[in-house]
């Protein structure tokens, strides 16, 4: 079964992040955190091993420190209105957290508040083969 490649999955994750960040009322700078491809050791689709989820995570920099609640609520509304399913909504907590999944391509996103002016946004792919096809595949 053909999937996105690791590179295509990384690009798609970045696209999801850029679109979500564009919905914010301010234009933060993005500070990338080290990406960690993780093997789908127990894939949710019961598929074969050797596939990976590709993760992209950014700290949102240069945000007004007193507006985290507003920014998290804005992202919630963006996701709700743009074909994402809400998986976790912890906006009522001090360490606000939202997790969503895109209904079209299965990419998951989240936003985490780790303190005043400290928001992190991330996206991760569904399980993908590194080269887009199973290693023993003869597809061309």
Indicate the number of domains in the chain: 1
Domain that holds residue 20: 6-38+50-124
Give the span between the Cα atoms of 137 and 43, in whole angstroms.
Answer: 19
Whether residue 17 lies inside any domain: the answer is: yes
- Does residue 87 contact residue 27 with C-beta atoms inside 8 Å? no
Whether residue 138 lies inside any domain: the answer is: no
Whether residue 139 lies inside any domain: the answer is: no
pLDDT of residue 55: 94
Per-residue pLDDT of the chain (140 residues; tens, 9 = 90+): 789 999 999 999 999 999 999 999 999 999 999 877 688 875 556 678 889 999 999 999 998 988 999 999 999 999 999 999 999 999 988 889 999 999 999 999 999 998 777 899 999 999 999 999 988 754 44
pLDDT of residue 137: 53
Whether residue 130 lies inside any domain: the answer is: no
Give the span between the Cα atoms of 55 and 100, in whole angstroms.
Answer: 14
Whether residue 57 lies inside any domain: the answer is: yes
Q: What is the DSSP string of 111-122?
A: EEE-STT-EEEE
pLDDT of residue 86: 97
Q: String of b and e for 111-125 (b: at least 16 CB within 10 Å)?
A: bbbeeebebbbbbbb
| Closest CA relative to residue 21, chosen from 61, 64, 67, 55 | 61
Element (H, E) at 58: strand 55-61
Cα 11–45–8 angle (5° rounding)? 10
- Does residue 79 contact residue 98 with C-beta atoms inside 8 Å? yes
Q: What is the pTM of this model?
A: 0.89
Whether residue 83 lies inside any domain: the answer is: yes
């Amino acid at each position: 079964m053909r999937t996105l490649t690791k590179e295509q999955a990384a690009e798609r994750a970045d696209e999801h992040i850029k679109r979500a960040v564009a919905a914010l009322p301010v234009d933060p700078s993005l500070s990338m955190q080290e990406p960690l491809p993780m093997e789908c050791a127990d894939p949710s689709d019961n598929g074969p091993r050797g596939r990976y989820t590709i993760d992209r995570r950014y700290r949102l920099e240069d945000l007004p420190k007193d507006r985290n609640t507003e920014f998290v609520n804005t992202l919630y509304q963006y996701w709700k209105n743009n074909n994402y399913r809400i998986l976790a909504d912890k906006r009522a907590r001090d360490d606000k957290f939202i997790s969503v999944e895109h209904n079209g391509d299965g990419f998951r996103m989240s936003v985490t508040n780790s303190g005043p002016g400290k928001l992190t946004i991330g996206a991760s792919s569904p399980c993908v083969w590194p080269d887009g096809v199973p290693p023993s595949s003869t597809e061309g």
